[in-house]
Amino acid sequence: MSAEIPAPAGEAQPTVTVLDYGSGNIRSAVRALERAGATVTLSAKPDDVLGADGLVVPGVGAFGSVMAELKSVDAIRMIGRRVAGGRPVLGICVGLQVLFDAGVEHGVRANGMGEWPGTVELLPAEVVPHMGWNTVKAPADSVLFEGVSDERFYFVHSYGVQSWDFDVIQPKMKPPMVTWSEHGAPFIAAVENGPLCATQFHPEKSGDAGARLLRNWVNSLRKGAA
């Protein structure tokens, strides 16, 4: 397993807000981010969401329910403001899924945030949910997966995005980096798109590999503030 990387000596800890909108498993994410070297606030207050160096959007449950809960605390607008301003956001599990165009669960379609093209659909596997450890295929120049591209991560989900079709409109624009995994079919395990990143798996439950990935993200906040 990967070794823990210490925070750079003499640097202030980046501030991270974990969005508190009713999702479960938030405390484990808070503790994991603190171990990764961040000063963490659990909040949905606009000042905390918009002012932190980084925002983490966790998500557990149904796509449509998570979207409704995000809307109830005005999170969709605030996430959009952060992304438009180049302010880092990290989505986790359903926090990744809602960044896509839509989700279809039990025949019901719900609109997502539309940051990326694609529809979240049931995985075509004999056994769902996809629960447990799985490998990923990350791009060679991935920031999130530096040092852990050959490791396994912990997944708990029945739905995923199984195709990627992203048109780069501006020639100088760097296309997003997409990491894949497989359960019944290939599905998107992570996306890195400038300030907007997300993972389908739970890094806070993925042992040393997940801890290293969160450390990579927290350290990228330091570089962004430099």
Q: Along the chain (226 residues), what's the average pLDDT of each consecutive run of 10 residues?
A: 50 94 87 98 98 96 96 98 98 98 95 97 97 98 97 98 79 84 98 98 98 98 68
Q: Is 197 a known active-site residue?
A: no
Distance CA 122, CA 129 (A): 9
State yes or no: is 204 an active-site residue. Answer: yes
What is the residue whose two structure tokens read 């780069």?
168
pLDDT at 168: 61
pLDDT score at 226: 39
> From the candidates 69, 121, 151, 204, which is the catalytic residue?
204
Rg (CA), the chain: 16
**Active-site position among 93, 130, 151, 183:** 93
Beta bridge partners of 104: 109
- The contacts of residue 182 (CB under 8 Å, 6+ apart) are 134
Residue 193 has a pLDDT of 97
* Residue 144 and residue 190 in contact, taking contact as beta carbons nearer than 8 Å: yes
Every domain of the chain and the residues it spans: 15-225
pLDDT on residue 171: 57
Q: Return the pLDDT at 166.
A: 79
**Domain 15-225: which CATH number of 3.90.180.10, 3.40.50.11540, 1.10.3720.10, 3.40.50.880:** 3.40.50.880
Pairing mode, strands 196-199 and 177-182: unpaired
183 is catalytic: no
Cβ-count burial of 16 within 10 angstroms (0-12 exposed, 13-18 middle, 19+ buried)? Answer: buried
